[in-house]
Amino acid sequence: MNRVDYTLEAARLVMRILELPGLIGEVKRQMTTLRAERRELERWMEAREAQAYLEAPGKTERERQARVKVALAQDPEWQKAERRLQQILVQLDKLQAELEVLEHERKAVYGALVARHAEALEAALAAGLFGAKPPAPRGGN
């Protein structure tokens, strides 16, 4: 790789490492919004289930629970809430996977930049650009 390609690649890495925090922040913001919506939806569903339980006739606990399940399954609002809750869970899973990919990329790019800078510093030190030559390697341990 010639010097120009090496410099361009380093510049691309720097640009990418500067972009990644913004992308990661956006994914985290979306996840926070979805989690808030999920909590709100779950609270509504719990309240609706409790209300249905209080309204359900039945002599035994098991009978009342069965009637509640039937009543909720027939409630269009409940069905809509269940579908939305499933959509939110799927979106959260996708965003979590995207976040993991971005975090991995950020770590990989950072590692590549550190390695490139270490190579440049070692080359400059070996060339005596800092005013002193590195110590000669010693034999043995």
- Between 130 and 9, the more confident residue is 9
What is the mean predicted confidence (pLDDT) over 47-51? 95
CB 110, CB 14: distance < 8 Å = no
Q: For residue 94, what are its two tokens?
A: 């996708």
Distance in angstroms (rounded) separating the CA atoms of residues 30 and 92 = 9
Per-residue pLDDT tens digits for 74-88? 999 999 999 999 999
CB 31, CB 96: distance < 8 Å = yes
The predicted pLDDT at position 133 comes to 64
pTM: 0.76
Q: How distant, in Å, are the alpha carbons of 1, 9, 125 from that of 119?
A: 14, 14, 10
